[in-house]
A = this chain, B = another copy of it.
Amino acid sequence: MFPEAEYRGRLARAQAEMRRRGLSALLVTTETDIFYFTGFLTRFWASPSRPWFVILPVDGDPIAVIPEIGAALMGRGWVSDIRTWPAPRPEDDGVTLLAAALAEQGGPVGTPDGPESHLRMPLADFARLKEASTHAIGSDGGIVAALRAIKSPAEIDCLRAVCALTNRAFDRVGEIAGEGVPLPRVFRAFQSLLLEEGADWVGFLAGAAGPDGYEDVISPANDRPLASGDVLMLDTGAVLGGYYSDFDRNYAVGEPSDCAVRAHRTLIDATRAGFDAARPGARACDVWQAMTAVTGRQKARFGHGLGLHLTEGLSFLETDESVLQQGMVLTLEPYVTTREGRIMVHEEVITLTEEGALPLTRFAEAELAVL
């Protein structure tokens, strides 16, 4: 958890935006939004059985309206107004308590409703809440997403640390992978490497292997053992203090093909071109332009924001005109098609300072690593 001043700064920035937009409060319901404002960190979000609510009033301190089971943990943080009910209680799972707390704030209330958001409560309960509320519950106008997109120095330190431990685990892939090893064993052992190097947990792992590349980048392990001539790709999101890394590495199993070697060099060149183009004031599409000038035009996006989620915020896409800002943490993620139905992908993480991009990962060499 960060010092209280970090959370107070986030709240103050949210309040300034609420004032500007005439909102009396924000209501947040998800793991990452609640963590962002309160520091409440638990893996218990894996349980969908209880809703959790935090109210951020335009004046004053946050109010946590949460299940009793979370009171002890929330009480260790900086939020002092904690109201609980014995959840699960399907007939009234916090709805009455939340409606009363919101009524104290007046209206209108905003809740995140834009890209990448969802409301983490049952729709039927949300309908009841709106009925029980004296004031309208509408959009937050993107306030929370905009705040979260700009990382503080403390957040960037966390992201640098989680990227560094991920780099160290990637350095050790030779210990666990090679010809004949089934991919599920590689996946399990790689997660252990991430834990040994200091990850709190592993929030994401995908990967694949095949001659000259792979079909997609979101699949779990298939059963095929690694074969000489394969390119193995592992893409992971390790978590440290609630913050995600997100990058991948490619490895040749035995002697790499010329095609794979060339593709990897192109990816590294494209990443470097993206790095040079990424600076405050540039647009997301400018960075996409710089990378696709090297790889050729591709359909999927070439990177995105990173933080409390594996992916969040802007996209390096032809159509995304978002302006890059100091304090953003972003991935550069070009890919190339190596042959019909096969691709190779490379990914690095950067942050934006006044002067331009700074790497948060130790960038890969142009030469494809050989296992």
Across the interface, do B73 and A216 meet the contact criterion of CB distance under 8 Å? yes
Enumerate chain B residues within 8 angstroms of A90, measured Cβ to Cβ. 114-115
Residues A304-337 near B (CB distance < 8 A): 304, 309-312, 315, 317, 319
A43 touches which of B49, B188, B204 (Cβ 8 Å): B204
Residues A230-287 near B (CB distance < 8 A): 237, 244
Query: Cβ of A166 < 8 Å from any Cβ of B?
Result: no
Across the interface, do A311 and B43 meet the contact criterion of CB distance under 8 Å? no
Task: With A195-B191, A195-B192, A299-B68 as known contacts, state yes or no: A47 contacts B124, CB within 8 Å.
Answer: no
Enumerate chain B residues within 8 angstroms of A200, measured Cβ to Cβ. 184, 187-188, 220
Complex CA gap A196/B317 in Å reads 40
Across the interface, do B201 and A43 meet the contact criterion of CB distance under 8 Å? no
Q: How far is the CB of A328 from chain B (nearest CB, A)?
A: 15
Across the interface, do A218 and B73 meet the contact criterion of CB distance under 8 Å? yes
Query: Cβ of A202 < 8 Å from any Cβ of B?
Result: yes
Enumerate chain B residues within 8 angstroms of A46, measured Cβ to Cβ. 203-204, 237, 244, 309-310
Residues A138-161 near B (CB distance < 8 A): 139
Enumerate chain B residues within 8 angstroms of A69, measured Cβ to Cβ. 216-218, 300
Across the interface, do A220 and B118 meet the contact criterion of CB distance under 8 Å? no
Query: Cβ of A113 < 8 Å from any Cβ of B?
Result: yes
Task: With A114-B122, A299-B86 as known contacts, state yes or no: A44 contacts B188, CB within 8 Å.
Answer: no
Residues A26-52 near B (CB distance < 8 A): 41-44, 46-49
Enumerate chain B residues within 8 angstroms of A203, measured Cβ to Cβ. 43, 46
Query: Cβ of A135 < 8 Å from any Cβ of B?
Result: no
A44 touches which of B111, B113, B204 (Cβ 8 Å): B204
Complex CA gap A121/B118 in Å reads 5
Complex CA gap A187/B200 in Å reads 8
Across the interface, do B312 and A48 meet the contact criterion of CB distance under 8 Å? yes
Query: Cβ of A8 < 8 Å from any Cβ of B?
Result: no
